[in-house]
Amino acid sequence: MHLLKRFIKYLYLLAFVLIFSSTNAAALQEVKLQLKWTHAFQFAGYYAAVQQGYYQDVGLDVQIIEGSPNTSAIDEVISGRSHFGVSTSSLLLTQPIEDVVLLANIFQHSPLVFVALDKGPFHTIHDLDGSTIMLEDGSDELIAYLVNEGLSLDNITFVPHSFSIDDLIQGDVDAMSSYLTYEIYEFNQAGVDIKIFTPRSVGIDFYGDNLFTNRNMIESNPAVVEAFLNASLKGWTYALNNLDETIELILAHYAPSIDPGFLKYEAESMLQLIRPEFVEIGYVNPGRWKHIAEIYQELGLLDATPNWDKFFFTPSQDNYTQWIRLISLVSVVTFLIAGIATHIYSVNKQLRKVLIQKQKEHSLKEKHNRILAMIADDQPLQSILIEITKNIESHRSGCLCSIMLKPDNESYLTPIASPSLDQEYVEIINKVPITVGAGSCGTAAATRQRVVIADIQSHPYWKSVKEAVVKAGLKSCWSQPVMDHSGQVLATFAIYTREVSEPSSADIRLIEEVAQLAAIAIDRSRMLELLKLSEQHHRYLAHHDPLTGLANRSLFSDRVEQAIRLAKREGNHLAIILIDLNDFKLINDQHGHVVGDKLLCAIAKRLKTSIRNSDTLSRYGGDEFVILLQGLMDTNEASIVEEKLFSLMSQPFNIDGLEIMSGCSIGIAFYPEDGSDETLLTHAADLRMYTNKRQLK
């Protein structure tokens, strides 16, 4: 028996030697990879795959072709001059789309942004209206960003990109498209303060560098395509785990004159776009591509929905090519030596068991990767949590999962993801109090400890809902608190079974892993919500008076500019009414600034009643208000409003029991009679207001 084992071991060794020899004896197949830009860390994975011999290991001799501003990677690949290419999400716009096939997404987030010189805290994307923008090819997502924000493309002048930041610095253009991984470094080195506007801030999140091939390669050489893809992804994993070594490789073999500091900056910036800690390298989310297609259709760039089955590359299910070759060779030897057939069969049977277990573990890992991708894509929290529960239910047969969320500043739990539980039961467990004795989940949230109850139908913690539990056919419940990094309870994750049971050690590991995954999703969702509220608040403060809530000068100027354009187009009039309060300083001195502020708020509220919804009331200064009246057929309409204002302001104000009189002086200017822009109109209104004030004295 000992001799037989040694002989079989020899056969396996011989088979591996034969495979290695046959692989290296054959001539390497030459293929070309067309980059979309010049050599940089942006393509580090492909350099690493060459240097580490990953391509050679699968029988490929890969020639990496540098790109340029005048090179279209898509044209090079479709024409057959190159076999593979790297492109932006503009790949979807290829005509016909069937000519290209997506292999992998390297950048989970596109690095494309707008850059403008920093003009202060209130500088927004809307300031690009009427500007000149330097735009590179393939920047469709930036166009979608402008349209989404309501900017008219007819008001913007687009010029070809020179790829020099000097054009922006010297004022030749107002903004330029830029890569977060590229030009931003140059601005930092130049010491120039810039403002970055990213499409991701409004939910337009395209993929970055995408690896693709042509239809002919898929149909004629599918094995080569799969081998190239696997070797490339392996190269990317190596490059991202060995940044300094890869930078030295680029300087030595691809871009010797490039700034090493730039390569370091580019590499670190890319990690934030590739997100390898969240998403498996090369992961493709079909849902995001469909959303990108919808945006292209809204822009009128894409007429028909692509055939997704043809657009996405589907690798063969057999990932064990070398193993199959090994089995084939061993089978030949086995045919010659029939005496060891039984042993070979036994070995294969054990291997199949191992493969089944590995495939099951790999399946769960892939599902978790998809969850992390959903989190990175900022998909709705409930969708993510429901996906988590469904994944666990499919992985562990016989269980029903539920996630109960703890709302902010509340002391109860409410179901957010319970796809397989009876709906009537879910309604009953709404608002479970966070206290010991309130079932498994309420107790787990209160104690911050896992709670395992093998027989919930007889346990006192479940007494209040026993009938509902029996009706739903639930026998056991294991609940794990979901907590953030500070130990605060965010939710609970529970597994129910329809039989009296306790979790195994594998179940415990699974529950803890899922709780961590849910914590990441919930914590990120809440942070994004806080960020969104903060951005909305700052956006509001940028355009409104913090005391009265009225439009400030900035917003009023914008409204006047729009109103003038409309009046010019439709042949109408508009009026600007300037209102200056009389003796407001005396009121402040006599009653104090608190009363003065309350009076200003009361005046603002009263003035609002005198105008239409289409008009704009603004606090123009300390004790000055200004009104924009739009769409006037003649000037008499403004005079009617003026009389109404005088009538309203002649009535006393009750401020904290004090009866205060606050008269005013009014000046009116009309477009186009008194001026063609805001400056001329407000000046005319100001002169008339002071004339009226002197007449009162």
Give the pLDDT confidence score for residue 122 in this predicted structure.
Answer: 62
**Who contacts 309 (Cβ-Cβ below 8 Å, separation ≥6)?**
none
Integer Cα distance of 104 and 99 in angstroms: 16
* Mean predicted confidence (pLDDT) in 540-550: 85
Please report the pLDDT score of residue 204 as a whole number. 84
Q: Could you read off the pLDDT of 15-44 as tens digits, one per residue?
A: 444 444 444 445 789 999 999 889 999 999
pLDDT at residue 445 in the model: 93
Contact 272, 188 (CB under 8 A): no
pLDDT band at 149 (very low <50, low <70, confident <90, very high): confident
Looking at residue 349, what is its pLDDT?
Answer: 54
pLDDT at 385 over 70: yes
pLDDT at residue number 362: 60
What three-state secondary structure class fits 152?
coil
Q: Average pLDDT, stretch 33-61?
A: 94
Q: Decide if pLDDT at 346 tops 70.
A: no
Residue 140: burial class (beta carbons within 10 Å; 0-12, 13-18, 19+): buried
The pLDDT of residue 356 is 52
Q: Is the pLDDT of residue 319 over 90?
A: no
Looking at residues 355-373, what average pLDDT do you find?
Answer: 66
**Which pLDDT belongs to residue 352?**
55
pLDDT tens string 110-132: 889 999 998 876 678 888 999 99
Question: In the prediction, which pLDDT does 360 show?
Answer: 57
Tokens 């608002």: give the residue: 431
d(CA 604, CA 243) in angstroms, rounded, equals: 60
Q: Strand, coil or helix: what is 84?
A: strand
Above 60 in pLDDT, residue 363? yes
pLDDT digits (tens, 9 = 90+) for 475-525: 999 999 999 888 899 999 999 999 999 998 888 988 888 888 888 889 888
| 168-181 tens-digit pLDDT | 999 999 999 999 88
Q: Which residues contact residue 15 at a Cβ distance below 8 angstroms, ignoring those fewer than 6 apart?
A: 326, 329, 330, 333
Kindly report, residue by residue over 267-297, the tens digit of the pLDDT. Answer: 998 888 888 877 889 988 888 899 888 888 8
Tokens of 328: 């084939």
Q: What is the pLDDT of residues 209-246, one digit of tens each?
A: 999 999 999 999 999 999 999 999 999 999 999 999 99
Taking only the tens place, the pLDDT of each residue in 594-643 is 999 999 999 999 999 888 888 999 998 888 999 999 988 888 888 888 88
pLDDT at 61: 95
Please, which contacts does 163-167 make with residues 24 or more away whose CB atoms are closer than 8 Å?
Answer: 163/69, 163/136, 165/190, 165/192, 167/134
- Rounded Cα gap, residues 682 and 620, in angstroms: 11
pLDDT of residue 541: 77
Q: Own/partner pairs for 651-655, CB < 8 Å, 24+ apart?
A: 653/599, 653/602, 653/603, 653/606, 655/591, 655/595, 655/598, 655/599, 655/602
Question: Is residue 668 over pLDDT 90?
Answer: yes
pLDDT tens digits along 155-203:
999 999 998 999 999 999 999 999 988 888 999 999 999 989 988 877 7
pLDDT of residue 25: 42
Q: pLDDT at residue 651 above 80?
A: yes
DSSP per-residue string spanning 558-615: HHHHHHHHHHHHHT-EEEEEEEEETTHHHHHHHH-HHHHHHHHHHHHHHHHTTS-TTS
Q: Is 445 helix (H, G, I), strand (E, B) or coil?
A: helix
Check pLDDT > 70 for residue 5.
no
Which two three-digit tokens encode residue 243? 């940044």
Higher per-residue pLDDT: 621 or 455? 455
Q: Kindly indicate the confidence band of residue 14, based on its pLDDT and cuts at 50, 70 and 90.
A: very low
Both tokens of 637, joined, read 């309409």
In this prediction, residue 10 carries a pLDDT of 46
This model's pTM is above 0.75: no
Q: Can you state the angle between helices 222-241 and 44-51, rounded to 10 degrees? A: 100
The dihedrals phi and psi of 558, each to the nearest 5 degrees, come to -65, -45
Domains and CATH numbers, the chain: 28-106+209-311 (3.40.190.10), 112-202 (3.40.190.10), 380-533 (3.30.450.40), 553-696 (3.30.70.270)
Q: How confident is the model at residue 358 (pLDDT cuts 50, 70, 90)?
A: low
Q: Model confidence at 4, in pLDDT bands (50, 70, 90)?
A: very low
With a CB cutoff of 8 Å and minimum separation 6, the contacts of 551 are 543, 544, 545, 559, 616, 617, 618, 619
